[in-house]
Amino acid sequence: MYRFMKISEIGRVKRAWKIFVEVSGVLAVLGFFLATLIFLIYLNTPKNLWI
């Protein structure tokens, strides 16, 4: 697949992939913190509010 691409196109794809990996990593960390926060709030609230 890479043989048919120009060098600049390969560089562009690598840059885009790096950006994608960084963004998905940040989103994963944020999602994990948000889930932990919601779970802690759920544990700290009285159970009769969750109907």
Q: Would you write out the chain's pLDDT as a tens digit for each of its 51 residues?
A: 556 667 778 888 899 999 999 999 999 999 999 999 999 998 888 776 665
Angstrom CA distances, 21 to 8, 12, 26, 27, stand at 20, 14, 9, 10
The CA distance from 19 to 16, in Å, is 5
Q: What is the CA radius of gyration of the chain?
A: 21
Q: Which residues of 30-42 are buried (b: 16+ CB within 10 A; e: fewer)?
A: eeeeeeeeeeeee
* Total residues belonging to the chain: 51
Residue 8's pLDDT is 79
